[in-house]
Amino acid sequence: MRLKRGVERASCDFCHRRKIKCDRASREKQGHSSCSPCSLRQIQCILDDADDIRLRRRRRLSSRDGDAQSLSNSSPFPSIYGGETQTISQERLQQPLPSYFPPDTEDSIPLSVDQTPDLSFIDTPFELSPESIFFLDQIFLGGGYEGSTEYHEPQIKLWVGCNLDKETFDAALHAYFDLATIHLPVIMEDAFWKDYCAGRCSPALVYAVACRGIIFTATSDSWDKQQCLATMFRQKFLEARQKATGKSAIRLDDLEALAIMVGWAYDEARSSPLDTQLGNLFLTHESLVLATLQSQMQDCDAGNSGNTDQIGPLARKEERRRLLFWHVYGLDAFHSLDQSLISRIPDGENEGISRKLPHHDTGSYLDAILSLAIIAREMLQVFMTVSTKRNGIKPQDAINMYERLDRWHNLECPVHLRRKRDGKGKLTPPAVSESTKTNFIQPLHCSLLWLLEINCYLQVEACVSRYGMRDGGPFEAEMAAHRIELESLRAVKDGMEICQWMKRFSAATGAGSAAKSHSLIDLAPFARDICAGQCFWISERGKRAIRHPTGRQRGAKAGNDHKKNDIDDYMKAAKEFRSAVATATSHRDTELVLERLDQQIASFEDLLAQ
């Protein structure tokens, strides 16, 4: 966090450069010489602000004051000399000082590809680099932000409205932050609890958090209770929008609630036709993007409607706003690419904003997702044009996109999050030490980022299949087609290995008879959907191999053996992906996904049996 002018910072150099919380001062009182982040990394905890021009000037003036005070004690006119010196020093201190912030350099993390660096900083998953924050502020705010103030009624017993007891309701809230939000965070846990306990939270946000978290609790009939919470969220959110009629602003916590619940499938049996129509207008992905782009989210000072005493603004408002921007930007990029839609978020380059972020060998999970989302938007700009829809995709554009993804992998993705291969070309999962084996956050973040990267490779082929490829120079289209086939097949092969590796980790909740284990795919629904997409892809490829064998699969006995081996591999991969999808047992719609996958695999088996 940036300091006010003239204020000496208490955070060490490592925490200050990464803008993360530092407990150096409190740990010094306990007898520790290092802050928690530095202790986790086993690096030296240093606080060196000698290069801060603001503090150098202040210390220089303080030194002069000390010299002047010592002279005044020996002067025959101590009061006059001392008073004059003190007046001058105060005036100098009150003068505006130039602001200087050292560059955000990264250190203390090994860069060798043969050594897996420590990933303990993932314990704070809401960290964004200053460059990422600046980029998102430019996209959504255009350089300016003004908040407004609104009073809020004190928190009521929200669990009563959905027929839950307080213990179950609180368990659902905690489960959201312990499990549900780790893959794509929307709100910070400490900020939520501060607002919730102070009565500042909007009811819509509380119901949204409980809705997403209750499936990870040990309560019975969790799906029915989840639908009830979803209905309460919709009711409270629509009521808030009705009260805000005529205002262009939306409360920050209401917008966070919408981001949490966007895409939810409501039980129509519990919904009135009016609620369904309003939900189709105000609870969609497009509504979330448009509301975020308004950039006038309210400051939400809370208080009693009948009391003029303000409880205070939302906790960590600015940091929450940036995290929400990150979530909406990434969600919209991959959603638009998957649905072949033009994004409503303006293209940065058209507004004089660079879409490129600095290349960092180190960085957080959020930074890696953001940089990959920028590439997804670049794919939209290249492939979703009027020209490509009419004439097809240029072969060189497809090749350039693969090179762009390779550049992201080799330069822009943080070293500790990159996919690595052994000497045989096989994907190697990052080493996890025994001390962190029970920590599922590290393997979860790595596997999710890898699956998103694989999804981008497969989206290139999907766009070419949808719009076709135009003729280029001699052999260009054919070479591009072979490159697309190679990259897609390698991506699916890596995806199968990732699914196998993810099964080695799980997250446990509860104790005793209430203990419950969740797979990594269960914690991230979009990972389940990517695995399902790969199952469809490899099944379709197996069908094509049966109908139209490739060159190596034709001919005599050797060709038939190749064909049989390839088809067996395709079937094995399809069932592996299906098995991975089946581990997402906490989500009700997993049953529908499995039904479609079973139909696809069954048609593959029927064709194979002919």
Question: What confidence score (pLDDT) does residue 242 get?
Answer: 84
Residue 508: φ, ψ to 5°: -105, 140
**Listed ranges 8-12, 97-101, 107-111, 386-390; the one with the highest mean pLDDT:** 386-390
Residue 524: φ, ψ to 5°: -135, 95
User: Position of tokens 């033009």?
Assistant: 342
Q: Where are the domains of the chain?
A: 53-87, 139-320, 356-421+437-488, 524-610
Q: What is the mean pLDDT of residues 384-404?
A: 94
Output 344 or 42, whichever has higher pLDDT: 344
Report which secondary-structure segment, H or E, holds 421.
strand 420-421
CA atoms within 13 Å, Cβ hemisphere of 544: 8
Q: What is the mean pLDDT of residues 59-87?
A: 43
* Residues 6 or more apart in contact with residue 300 via CB below 8 angstroms: 149, 150, 152, 200, 202, 251, 252, 253, 313, 314, 317
Distance of CA 342 to the CA centre of its chain: 21
- Give the number of other Cβ atoms within 10 Å of residue 471's Cβ: 11
Question: What confidence score (pLDDT) does residue 594 get?
Answer: 97
pLDDT-derived band of residue 589, with 50, 70 and 90 as boundaries? very high
- Give the number of other Cβ atoms within 10 Å of residue 96's Cβ: 7
Asked whether the predicted pLDDT for residue 55 surpasses 70, the reply is: no
Question: What confidence score (pLDDT) does residue 442 get?
Answer: 83
439 is written with which tokens?
């920590």
Angle among Cα 369, 465, 539 to the nearest 5 degrees reads 80
Distance of CA 52 to the CA centre of its chain: 33
Output 433 or 313, whichever has higher pLDDT: 313
pLDDT-derived band of residue 557, with 50, 70 and 90 as boundaries? low
User: Position of tokens 């003239």?
Assistant: 6
Nearest Cα to Cα of residue 195 among 305, 291, 317: 317
Measured CA to CA, the distance from residue 154 to residue 465 in angstroms comes to 55
Question: What confidence score (pLDDT) does residue 473 get?
Answer: 80
Residues across the chain: 610
Nearest Cα to Cα of residue 505 among 493, 489, 494, 521: 521
Question: What confidence score (pLDDT) does residue 305 get?
Answer: 34
Measured CA to CA, the distance from residue 274 to residue 204 in angstroms comes to 18
Question: What confidence score (pLDDT) does residue 106 get?
Answer: 38
Measured CA to CA, the distance from residue 287 to residue 605 in angstroms comes to 42
Output 47 or 174, whichever has higher pLDDT: 174
Angle among Cα 564, 565, 568 to the nearest 5 degrees reads 85
Q: What is the mean pLDDT of residues 503-513?
A: 74
Asked whether the predicted pLDDT for residue 360 surpasses 80, the reply is: no
Cβ atoms 250, 233 nearer than 8 A: no
Nearest Cα to Cα of residue 263 among 366, 338, 374, 187: 338
59 is written with which tokens?
């210390």
**What percent of the chain shows pLDDT beyond 90?**
42
Q: Pairing between strand 310-312 and 302-303?
A: antiparallel
597 is written with which tokens?
């996958």
pLDDT-derived band of residue 20, with 50, 70 and 90 as boundaries? confident
pLDDT-derived band of residue 80, with 50, 70 and 90 as boundaries? very low
Measured CA to CA, the distance from residue 602 to residue 436 in angstroms comes to 41
| Of 40-44, 541-545, 549-553, the least confident | 549-553
Output 575 or 115, whichever has higher pLDDT: 575
Asked whether the predicted pLDDT for residue 59 surpasses 80, the reply is: no
Asked whether the predicted pLDDT for residue 114 surpasses 50, the reply is: no
Measured CA to CA, the distance from residue 470 to residue 215 in angstroms comes to 48
Output 288 or 428, whichever has higher pLDDT: 288
Strands (E), 174-223: none
pLDDT-derived band of residue 131, with 50, 70 and 90 as boundaries? low
pLDDT-derived band of residue 6, with 50, 70 and 90 as boundaries? low
DSSP letters spanning 467-497: H-B---STTHHHHHHHHHHHHHHHHHHHHHH
Asked whether the predicted pLDDT for residue 79 surpasses 50, the reply is: no
CA distances from 143 to 146, 295, 370 (A): 11, 10, 19
